[in-house]
Amino acid sequence: MHGEYKAPGGKLVVVDLNVEDGVLSDVRVAGDFFLEPDEAILAINSALEGAPSSASSTELATRITAALPESTVMFGLTSEGIGIAVRRALAHATEWSDYDWQLVHAGPQAPALHMALDEVLTAEVAAGRRAPTLRVWEWASPAVVIGSFQSLRNEVDPDGAARHGMTVVRRISGGGAMFVEPMSTITYSLSVPESLVSGLSFADSYAYLDDWVLGALGDMGIKAWYQPLNDIATEAGKIAGAAQKRVVGPDGGPGAVLHHVTMSYDIDADKMLEVLRIGREKMSDKGTKSAKKRVDPLRRQTGLAREQVIENMIASFRDRYGLTTGEVTGEELVRAQELVRTKFATEEWTARVP
């Protein structure tokens, strides 16, 4: 069995192993990390040898840490990361490079249609009818997108939304509200097979699926990092938030994961505060007193046009994993439009949590 894991900001850890009578055997840990002294790698392999195949990544990490020489120094490597790589091997996880990725980047579309496309394309990946897909959104109109479980009245000021022409829609993933203006927002979705995140905890899957965009931002001179559970931040503040939804495959089999990210290219914070009801408790939890201080847009940090930022992000993904330009099929579009009519544009769905 073979498993790989690269933590954000870390190095690649590769684990090859067998399982005999319910325990790990022939364990070999490798990677491009740095480790001193040399014999520490032997201690890691020995610590994993004979471990129960049912052991969690945390339990495996505990075994590794206990076996390391006192003088051990790790660079780009942690005991937890090795444990995760083992779990991914045991779960027969796939890697980014195992797939022929497809890019979907169409013209501006209505907010409700974006919600529907996320559901349809991810279901198609789960069914094996669509390749793993990176979809970059373009917005036809300003919008507030609330999370699947958020209260409509608690999150949105209807008078403020109407005054600023904001369409309010609800997405299928959890998380918080998104304030969207077409030329001030960069949004993308990843629709990926569930096997890509096999062996990862829910929290670790966020970091894993965000790693490529951290590299893309780094190429543009922005030092960014994953901030649990679902934010991307820099020293200047939050620049993006992510949300996920698991989709079950046909007949209850392996499915797919929808992971989408909204990034702030620019922002009118005063308008946002007129539209979103951001409670004091939430602001306090983020360690700030003002929403204006919570977001630091990419426009200021990069000095690049929005279109150039998107182009750079796509190029970075293509350089890492390959990317073929594709499109939403006619059948997929028809299904999405039907979902708009029956679900995403209805009051019943949008106000399902009043």
106-123 per-position pLDDT tens digit = 999 999 999 999 999 999
334-344 per-position pLDDT tens digit = 999 999 999 99
Provide the pLDDT for residue 278: 76
Provide the pLDDT for residue 107: 97
Provide the pLDDT for residue 7: 84
Bridge partners of 188, per DSSP, are: 136, 261
Distance CA 127, CA 251 (A): 10
Which of 293, 305, 297, 291 lies closest to 264 in space, CA to CA? 297
Provide the pLDDT for residue 288: 46
226-262 per-position pLDDT tens digit = 998 899 998 888 899 999 999 998 888 889 999 999 9
Provide the pLDDT for residue 280: 37
Bridge partners of 245, per DSSP, are: 258
Which of 91, 230, 106, 116 lies closest to 174 in space, CA to CA? 230
What are the mean pLDDT values of the chain's consecutive 10-residue runs (354 residues total)?
90 97 97 96 97 96 96 95 96 95 98 98 97 98 97 95 97 95 97 96 93 95 91 90 94 91 93 81 49 69 95 97 97 98 98 96
Provide the pLDDT for residue 296: 66
